[in-house]
């Protein structure tokens, strides 16, 4: 059968396959172990492995690969179970494809044509067969096996399953891989040997495709320090995509606390499906390639030819249709792409049935002609529907009426301009928004200035004007290789803001949100938050050498943009480096445009860069290290530890080189970034290291290497920049220091970066980002854990391994509250501004589960009130959440505390809180980042009080009343159930209780005259016959106390101090031995590991 073309590795695969026949463009191969010969030992091994696999994952014994003479890349295009079947495919290729390929000039065109043809054949076969992809009956059977084998909570949603082999050492175990919302699970049972594996997605450090000597391709999973390899999938790429999506979904949901409100297919973890994940992956790729808003989703795809007027030929590609955009990308993705907002479409001409062509007319007297569209009529109707076009007379009449009314309104406001502000409700702060780029205000271009730099600037503008006349201008401009060439040469000052808006996609954001910026400026100005405090502190540190930011005009514009963005996105708020980037944006773009450019950078082009942990920047640094190993082998041989480059390059990524390059050179880098994304920054970073290779290799330490790079950046110039010397003072100030070093022109450096590393594909960069993101996040998590354990270890007596196990259980319990719901209190009240000690906390319901698993004596078992009181007792700051330190300190008292401390804990436990928890179990008192004024003085005072907090004296403890004392006695009885000295312990408690009641009664008689009503409680409570009955159950004493307490007259009020209870219990050696007896916490920890999931289910 024909296969969707997939790139394969032949480095090791040649040992498993034998070439049967071939030509210049195709090769037919047979798998060893099949047919004549058998292939010796290798053939025997391959045949054995294939025999172990079931019909759903067996590798077909024959296949056809596509290749081109000047390429090392092979593509699988067909496979067959028999020689006859594969020969039919081979003959079809020879008859229908071979003759056509000779007309193409390049290998890329040949490969594109073959891939398009094969995909068309697959689509035709799919229509004829009409086979349903998902078999509900088989899925139900798989679900039953999944539930039976792994005993996970019933709420766990199985997404899909695959037959594969799991490698334990050098031995493969054939079985089934089950992918669910929160877990990766594998099961195998062969010859009496059972293999079972369950890994949480949030525990995975690495997820990648690999190959080795035995396996052509496999999936490698690194989790909890162990490597797992899965291979022999029928559809390995599909499996890996689903695994990648589930891991990413888990990271975003559990670590980043995202709720996916704008993505319905992912908003409910109980409803995750394979199709939903695949759709989400396609949508992400679609939005990233065309730089579209996050609200856009890929709805329809059509293969077609687009007439390219400037090249005078049809280019093959795909039409991608979303809610608001019509996009086209040529087959290789680099020749040509165009984005047409539906708001720009003014008409769709009647389709040409003979050529299946469709012409779309856009504003600016331009038209795009798509031909050979399979469903051209459906596409035309879809475009008309999204543009709101109809051909009905009523629509035309109503349109004319609206136009007339609008013209009358315009004429009215022309005659009465004072009513304009009243009509739109413009506020005073809105009037202050600048409508000019700061460079236009502080450095206007002199049209009569004809110096060489200005002449060259005019020539650049002329080149772009010619480009606009050929390729179009504005949102529907064709982007081609020529566009990139012009970008590399440098963008003219006058066009920079316009092109940044266009290439970043910010122009679309601004067009669909008219008035949005002015509105949030009005709302945000005057607010006082942690973000605004940080913004005010950094305002005068933003390009201080530039005249624009030495005046109130520039500073005020910068304040408005940063404050408005912090108001729009409180999750990010404000992060250092945003001020530097925004300053440069304001130089070349109007204020509102600068705001939308900042939105595009923070939310699309550099995701997760500007937050507390700068995860995005760290991920790209990991990608950068990987690229250094690939391209700069000489450097890696000399410097085996590349972490140095991570620390040095952090500012390169966060500020797009603005912080290390002179401003007139840095803007050229920003030009490339807005066109090519992070790929441009990675390329330039490699070029910088390559340029300084000799110096870096000869350097003796990191300090010397840093000096080399600093001097290099000081000598990067822009010889074509028309900016005056007052603006270029950043570079001028360093000329004397490094006059002996040769100058490097930024255009030459960028050109060299594109020539040497321009073949790097954006898709590959995105794959590397995803591959490294898991490792970066887990490394940060591990660092957080070490910091937390270092702090907590000073407060408790647990060993390091025990604390490590406790942290793993606590963190897992935190995640369990998020596994099956998006409405968990932990998610709803997450505050990223809190310190690392507070990042993982438990609400009451999660605390109850974990505390019941780890407490040494079943203290709160069967008593919900005690669980609640224990929770409130540990919640020292009364925020409705218990952090790891508070939790460990409580367990430390119960396991390692003195007799007095343990008794004090029990005593305080029976003094219930003043108020109860709300229904969601959480009371949040800490201010959320970016939303309210932070009382720093209150935080400092709380910190100081905690430092100066003295040991609590037993005299400071309040007395407990009669109801609390009775509950305290019940708790003591429950502790002894099942103890070898259970009977002695019960008797001892009875004696202590009797003694305390007598002491209280004696004290009362000394103060007041004796009366019959006061003597009654003593006589009733001293009747302890039940305690001496050996056959009584453990509940008898409690019932007795409850009954006798009910016989106490209501007017009698008595209470006990902690000193009285302590002194009485110390007189009973059996009680002292019980509380001082060591309890094996390791056994409890091991039990909790296995019971944690089940405990969650049963609660």
Q: Which two tokens stand for residue 92?
A: 């079809």
Mean pLDDT of 268-291: 89
Identify the pLDDT of residue 530. Answer: 85
Q: To 10 degrees, the CA torsion angle through 691, 692, 697, 702?
A: -140
Look at residues 784, 949, 959 and name the one whose alpha carbon lies nearest to residue 877: 949
Mean pLDDT of 390-400: 39
3-state SS, residue 262: coil
Residue 307 to residues 106, 122, 477, 521, 657: CA-CA distances in angstroms?
20, 26, 14, 44, 39
Confidence of residue 929 (pLDDT cuts 50, 70, 90): very low
Identify the pLDDT of residue 418. Answer: 44
Please write the tens of the pLDDT for every residue from 614-649.
899 999 999 999 999 999 988 888 877 777 888 888
Please write the tens of the pLDDT for every residue from 1071-1090.
888 888 888 888 889 988 88
Q: Please give the Cα distance from 122 to 111 (Å, whole number).
A: 17
CA angle 417, 423, 426 (to 5 degrees): 95
Look at residues 654, 636, 644, 739 and name the one whose alpha carbon lies nearest to residue 690: 636
Residue 1041 has pLDDT above 50, yes or no: no
Among 387-391, 667-671, 719-723, 734-738, name the most confident range: 667-671
Identify the pLDDT of residue 395. Answer: 37
Q: Which two tokens stand for residue 734?
A: 């360093």
Which residues have C-beta within 8 Å of that of residue 309, sequence separation ≥ 6? 470
Q: Which two tokens stand for residue 1056?
A: 């006990």
Identify the pLDDT of residue 1020. Answer: 40
Of 97-106, 118-127, 308-317, 704-713, minimum mean pLDDT range:
118-127
Task: Report the relative pairing of strands 313-321 and 325-330 from DSSP bridges.
Answer: antiparallel
Identify the pLDDT of residue 1096. Answer: 53
Residue 1024 to residues 153, 665, 1028, 1080: CA-CA distances in angstroms?
47, 92, 7, 34
Identify the pLDDT of residue 927. Answer: 40
Identify the pLDDT of residue 939. Answer: 53
Mean per-residue pLDDT over the chain, rounded: 79
Identify the pLDDT of residue 945. Answer: 62
Mean pLDDT of 985-1002: 84
Among 720-729, 820-829, 917-926, 1025-1034, name the most confident range: 820-829
φ/ψ of 813, rounded to 5, equals -65, -35
Identify the pLDDT of residue 1019. Answer: 41
Strands (E), 639-718: 716-717
Identify the pLDDT of residue 259. Answer: 75
Look at residues 284, 288, 372 and name the one whose alpha carbon lies nearest to residue 333: 288
Mean pLDDT of 57-75: 79
Identify the pLDDT of residue 951. Answer: 56
Of 176-190, 448-462, 774-788, minimum mean pLDDT range:
448-462
CB of 868 closer than 8 Å to CB of 964? no
Q: Which residue has the tokens 């109860």?
A: 916
Q: Which residue has the tokens 């479409």?
A: 345
Q: What is the 3-state secondary structure (H, E, C) of 1025-1054?
A: HHHHCCCCCCCHHHHHHHHHHHCCCCCCCC
pTM summary value: 0.77
Q: In terms of C-beta distances under 8 Å and separation of at least 24 residues, what long-range contacts does 616-619 make, across chains too?
A: 617/650, 617/653, 617/654, 618/646, 618/776, 618/780, 619/769, 619/772, 619/773, 619/776
Residue 565 has pLDDT above 80, yes or no: yes
Q: Which two tokens stand for residue 964?
A: 């609390």
Backbone dihedral region of 425: left (phi > 0), alpha (psi from -120 to 50 degrees) or beta?
A: left
Residue 459 has pLDDT above 80, yes or no: yes
Q: Please give the Cα distance from 689 to 706 (Å, whole number).
A: 11
Which residues have C-beta within 8 Å of that of residue 222, sequence separation ≥ 6? 204, 205, 206, 207, 228
Residue 457 has pLDDT above 80, yes or no: yes
Residues facing residue 165 across a β-bridge? 174, 231
For residue 979, the Cα-to-chain-centroid distance in whole angstroms is 50
- Residue burial 127-146, b: 16+ Cβ < 10 Å; e: rest: eeeeeeeeeeeeeeebeeeb
Residue 517 has pLDDT above 60, yes or no: yes
CB of 1075 closer than 8 Å to CB of 899? yes
Identify the pLDDT of residue 567. Answer: 93
Mean pLDDT of 86-103: 81
């Amino acid at each position: 059968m024909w296969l969707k073309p997939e790139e394969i590795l032949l480095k090791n695969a040649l040992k498993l396959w034998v070439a049967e026949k071939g030509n210049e463009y195709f090769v037919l191969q047979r798998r060893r172990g099949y047919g004549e010969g058998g292939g010796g030992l290798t053939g025997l091994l391959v045949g054995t492995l294939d025999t172990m696999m079931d019909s759903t994952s067996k590798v077909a014994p024959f296949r056809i690969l596509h290749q081109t003479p000047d390429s090392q890349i092979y593509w699988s295009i067909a496979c067959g179970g028999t020689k006859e079947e594969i020969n039919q495919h081979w003959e079809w290729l020879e008859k229908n494809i071979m003759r056509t390929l000779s007309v193409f000039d390049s290998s890329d065109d040949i490969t594109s044509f073959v891939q398009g043809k094969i995909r068309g054949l697959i689509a035709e076969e799919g229509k004829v067969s009409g086979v349903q992809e998902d078999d509900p009956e088989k899925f139900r059977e798989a679900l039953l096996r999944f539930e039976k084998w792994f005993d996970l909570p019933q709420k766990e949603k199985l997404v899909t399953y695959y037959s594969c082999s799991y490698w334990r050492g050098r031995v493969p175990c054939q079985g089934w891989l089950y992918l669910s919302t929160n877990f990766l699970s594998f099961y195998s049972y062969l010859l009496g040997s059972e293999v079972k594996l369950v890994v949480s997605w949030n525990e995975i450090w690495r997820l990648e495709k690999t190959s080795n000597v035995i396996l052509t391709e496999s999936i490698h999973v690194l989790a909890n320090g162990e490597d797992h390899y899965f291979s022999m999938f029928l559809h390995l790429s599909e499996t890996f995509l689903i695994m990648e999506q589930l891991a990413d979904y888990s990271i975003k949901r559990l670590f980043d606390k995202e709720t996916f409100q704008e993505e319905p297919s992912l908003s409910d973890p109980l409803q995750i499906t394979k199709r939903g994940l695949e759709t989400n992956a396609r949508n992400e790729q679609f939005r990233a390639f065309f730089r579209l808003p996050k609200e856009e989703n890929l709805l329809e795809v059509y293969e077609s030819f687009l007439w390219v007027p400037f090249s005078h030929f049809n280019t093959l590609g795909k039409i991608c249709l979303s809610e608001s955009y019509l996009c086209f990308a040529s087959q290789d993705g680099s020749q040509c792409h165009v984005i047409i907002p539906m708001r720009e479409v003014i008409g769709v001409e009647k389709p040409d049935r003979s050529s299946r062509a469709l012409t779309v007319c856009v504003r600016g007297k331009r038209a795009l002609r798509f031909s050979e569209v399979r469903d051209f009529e459906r596409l035309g109707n879809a475009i008309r529907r999204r543009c709101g076009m109809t051909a009905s007379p009523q629509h035309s009449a109503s349109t004319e009426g609206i136009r007339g009314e609008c013209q009358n309104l315009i004429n009215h406001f022309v005659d009465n301009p004072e009513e304009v502000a009243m009509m739109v409700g413009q506020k005073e702060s809105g009037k202050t928004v600048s409508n000019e780029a700061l460079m236009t205000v502080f450095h206007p271009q002199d049209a009569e200035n004809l110096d060489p730099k200005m002449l060259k600037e005019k020539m650049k503008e002329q080149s772009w004007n010619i480009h606009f006349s050929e390729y179009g201008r504005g949102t529907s401009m064709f982007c081609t290789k020529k566009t990139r060439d012009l970008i590399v040469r440098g963008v003219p000052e006058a066009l920079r803001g316009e092109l940044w808006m266009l290439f970043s996609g910010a122009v679309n954001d601004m067009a669909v949100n008219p008035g949005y910026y002015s509105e949030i400026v009005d709302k945000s100005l005057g607010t006082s938050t942690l973000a605004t405090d940080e913004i005010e502190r950094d305002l005068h540190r933003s390009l201080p050498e530039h005249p624009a930011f030495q005046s109130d005009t520039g500073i005020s514009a910068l304040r408005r943009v940063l404050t408005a963005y912090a108001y729009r996105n409180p999750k990010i708020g404000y992060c250092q480096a945003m001020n530097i980037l925004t300053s440069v944006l304001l130089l070349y773009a109007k204020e509102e445009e600068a705001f939308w450019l900042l939105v595009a950078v923070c939310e699309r082009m550099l995701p997760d860069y500007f937050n507390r942990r700068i995860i995005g920047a760290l991920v790209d640094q990991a990608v950068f290290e990987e690229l250094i190993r690939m391209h700069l082998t000489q450097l890696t041989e000399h410097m085996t530890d590349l972490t140095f480059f991570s620390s040095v390059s952090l500012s390169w990524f966060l500020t797009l080189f603005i912080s290390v390059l002179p401003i007139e050179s840095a803007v050229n880098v920003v030009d490339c970034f807005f066109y090519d994304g992070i790929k441009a920054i990675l390329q330039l970073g490699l070029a910088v290291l390559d340029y300084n290779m000799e110096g870096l290799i000869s350097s003796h330490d990191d300090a010397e290497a840093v000096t080399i790079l600093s001097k290099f950046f000081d000598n990067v110039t822009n010889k074509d920049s028309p900016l005056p010397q007052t603006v270029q003072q950043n570079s001028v100030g360093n000329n004397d220091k490094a006059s002996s070093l040769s100058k490097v022109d930024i255009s030459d450096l960028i050109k060299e970066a594109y020539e040497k590393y321009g073949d790097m594909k954006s898709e590959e960069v995105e794959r590397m980002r995803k591959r490294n993101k898991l490792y970066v996040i887990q490394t940060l998590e591990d660092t957080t854990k070490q910091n937390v354990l270092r702090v907590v270890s000073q407060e408790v007596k647990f060993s390091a391994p025990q604390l490590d196990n406790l942290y793993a259980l606590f963190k897992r319990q935190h995640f369990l509250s998020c596994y099956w719901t998006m409405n968990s209190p932990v998610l709803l009240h997450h505050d990223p501004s809190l310190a690392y000690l507070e990042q993982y906390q438990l609400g009451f319901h999660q605390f109850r589960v974990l505390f019941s698993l780890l407490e040494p004596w079943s203290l709160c078992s069967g008593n919900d009130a005690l669980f609640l009181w224990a929770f409130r007792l540990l919640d020292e700051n009364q925020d409705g959440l218990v952090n790891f330190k508070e939790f460990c300190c409580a367990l430390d008292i119960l396991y390692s505390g003195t007799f007095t401390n343990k008794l004090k804990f029990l005593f305080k436990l029976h003094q219930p809180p003043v108020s109860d928890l709300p229904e969601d179990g959480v009371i949040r008192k800490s201010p959320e980042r970016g939303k309210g004024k932070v009382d720093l003085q209150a935080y400092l005072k709380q910190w100081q009080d905690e430092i100066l907090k003295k040991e609590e004296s037993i005299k400071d403890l309040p007395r407990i009343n009669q109801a609390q004392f009775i509950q305290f006695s019940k708790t003591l009885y429950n502790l002894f159930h099942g103890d070898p000295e259970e009977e002695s312990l019960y008797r001892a408690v009875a004696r202590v209780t009797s003694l305390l009641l007598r002491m209280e009664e004696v004290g009362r008689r000394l103060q007041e005259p004796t009366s019959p009503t006061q003597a009654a409680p003593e006589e009733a409570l001293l009747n302890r016959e039940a305690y001496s009955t050996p056959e009584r159950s453990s509940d008898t004493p409690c019932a007795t106390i409850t009954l006798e307490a009910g016989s106490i007259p209501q007017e009698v009020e008595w209470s006990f101090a902690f000193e009285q209870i302590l002194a009485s219990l110390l007189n009973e050696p059996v009680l002292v031995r019980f509380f001082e007896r060591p309890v094996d916490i390791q056994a409890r920890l091991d039990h909790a590991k296995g019971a944690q999931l089940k405990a969650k289910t049963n609660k």
